[in-house]
Amino acid sequence: MTEMFSTLFGQNEAQGPPGSSSLGFGPGKAPPPIPQNQVSMAGQMPPQLVDEGPALRKSGATNEHFYLLRELPVGNELTGNTNLITHYNLEHAYNKFCGKKVKEKLSNFLPELPGMIDCPGTQDGSSLRSLIDKPPVCGNSFSPLTGASLTGFRLHTGPLPEQYRLMHIQPPKKKSKHKHKHHRPQDPLPQETPSDTDPKKKKKKRDDDPDRKKKKKDKKKKKNRHSPDHPGLAGSQPSSNSLR
Amino acid sequence: MAEKFDNLEEHLEKFIENIRQLGIIVSDFQPSSQAVLNQKLNFMISGLQDIDKCQKQLHDINVPLEVFEYIDQGRNPQLYTKECLERALARNEQVKGKIDTMTKFKSLLISELSKVFPEEMAKYKEKRGEDGPS
């Protein structure tokens, strides 16, 4: 074993104690002769390294006892021993996000955003990853459309085909405390046609139905009071006016 | 810092609202809506201009890419923040445990070595006392 090391690293045989050749770390200068008082130290080997680091560059008196003693690394005040959440004043954020239950869906984070935003972006090609992989052409200035360019936006009248009617399918909007909610548009808009707002229309119908029923009942009562067919006045035939 | 986000947020909301109205107009188009459509299209372009102007204020803002993955999956991006904080705390505790264990091991080792090699350990402690706190 000793012979293998010496052949590998080219150590001379006559270098210090016999055991030293087994620790040949590389081509280096011949070690200095060991003083007699150091021979008695058990387990101590003379240094043979060419570049041993700052500890062993010190005077021999300090390193004579501990061969591989190195300087301690520069202490870092901030270690894992410190609670880093407290150190960086993130307690409030931690309690906010980890103390309460955070809802899973994107629509809970952006309740005012129209459309189906909880679906994966890869399904309809609206993923942010695709925007990063294929960034759009930028750098051109934004200029308003002139009359000539607006001719391309002359549309045919009538409703959209079924396959393109996606925008109005929205998740039910929840009440939010968002401060910008109040600036809903005041622009004159063409009224939404019944064909596009079926769920809204159904809601409206449901809302109106009890009101309508009440109004109908009131009307019935009024008519029955004042009609000649009222059982209280005369006649035995039932009133057929209620179906109006 | 919150102000520049508020500004961008406001512009984005107006833009999105404009687009929504455009969609409503287009979904069942009438000839009388052409003028409004043209107006909305120009609002859209001015909205893009406003959003483009906001980027100068936000050039130093960095967003982790992992947040985009959450959004693409339709998940709340606050979950990313939550998971980051939880991972940081768990790792903090793990490292603290390692430091505590190593500190205990060191003190045990020194005490045991001092029993076996009292003179050498005295010199070692003296040496370390010169270098700094061990």
Please name every residue paired with A139 in a beta bridge, in sequence order, or none if there are none: none
Query: In chain A, what residues touch B13 (CB-CB under 8 Å)?
Result: 112, 180, 183
Domains in chain B: how many in total? 1
| Domain ranges, residue B56 | 1-61
From A77-81, A135-139, A192-196, A215-219, the region with the lowest mean pLDDT: A192-196
Query: Is there a contact between A157 and B85 if contact means CB atoms under 8 Å apart?
Result: no
The answer to whether residue B81 is domain-embedded is: no
- In tens, the pLDDT along A11-53 reads 444 444 444 444 444 444 555 555 555 444 444 554 444 454 5
Å from B102 to nearest chain A CA?
Answer: 12
Query: Is there a contact between B65 and A98 if contact means CB atoms under 8 Å apart?
Result: no
> d(Cα B96, Cα A80) in Å, to the nearest integer?
5
Helix (H, G, I), strand (E, B) or coil at A57: helix
Give me the residue label for tokens 């520049």: B4
The answer to whether residue B77 is domain-embedded is: no
Å from A51 to nearest chain B CA?
Answer: 21
- In tens, the pLDDT along A149-169 reads 888 888 888 888 887 776 555
> Residue A76 corresponds to which tokens in the numbers above?
């870092």
Output B58 or A138, whichever has higher pLDDT.
Answer: B58
Q: Sign of torsion, CA A162 A164 A167 A172?
A: positive
Å from A46 to nearest chain B CA?
Answer: 18
Instruction: Please tell me if residue A217 touches chain B, with a CB cutoff of 8 Å.
Output: no
Whether the pLDDT of residue A243 is over 60: the answer is no
The answer to whether residue B30 is domain-embedded is: yes
A94 alpha carbon, distance to own chain's centre: 15
Chain A residues 60-119 with CB within 8 Å of chain B: 62, 65-66, 69, 71-72, 75, 79-81, 83-85, 90, 93-94, 97-98, 102-106, 108-109, 112-114, 117-119
Query: In chain B, what residues touch A143 (CB-CB under 8 Å)?
Result: 45
> d(Cα A243, Cα A216) in Å, to the nearest integer?
9
What proportion of chain A, given as a percentage, has pLDDT over 70?
A: 43
Whether the pLDDT of residue A194 is over 50: the answer is no
Output B10 or A139, whichever has higher pLDDT.
Answer: B10
> d(Cα A161, Cα A170) in Å, to the nearest integer?
18
The mean pLDDT of chain B is 90
| Cβ-nearest to A193 among B28, B42, B95 | B28
- In tens, the pLDDT along B23-82 reads 889 988 899 999 999 999 999 999 999 998 888 888 888 999 999 999 999 999 999 999
The mean pLDDT of chain A is 65
Alpha helices in chain A (DSSP H): 2-9, 36-39, 60-63, 84-87, 91-94, 106-109, 128-133, 147-150, 198-226
| Cβ-nearest to B74 among A69, A106, A144 | A106
> Residue A239 corresponds to which tokens in the numbers above?
């009133």
- Helices and strands in chain B, H and E counts: 5, 1
The answer to whether residue B129 is domain-embedded is: no
Å from A193 to nearest chain B CA?
Answer: 7
Query: Is there a contact between B20 and A114 if contact means CB atoms under 8 Å apart?
Result: yes
> d(Cα B63, Cα B71) in Å, to the nearest integer?
12
Output A177 or A81, whichever has higher pLDDT.
Answer: A81
Cβ burial, residue B120 (10 Å; 0-12/13-18/19+): middle
Query: Is there a contact between A142 and B85 if contact means CB atoms under 8 Å apart?
Result: no
Task: Please state the rounded mean pLDDT for residues B109-122.
Answer: 94
Contact B69, A129 (CB under 8 A): yes
The answer to whether residue B43 is domain-embedded is: yes
Res B109: pLDDT: 95
Query: In chain B, what residues touch A113 (CB-CB under 8 Å)?
Result: 16
Q: Sign of torsion, CA B40 B46 B51 B54?
A: negative
Cβ burial, residue B1 (10 Å; 0-12/13-18/19+): exposed
Whether the pLDDT of residue A220 is over 80: the answer is no
Q: What is the ipTM of this complex?
A: 0.75
Cβ burial, residue A82 (10 Å; 0-12/13-18/19+): middle
Q: Structure pTM?
A: 0.56
Task: Please state the rounded mean pLDDT for residues A162-188.
Answer: 55
Between chain A and chain B, how many beta carbons pairs sit less than 8 Å apart?
163
The answer to whether residue B16 is domain-embedded is: yes
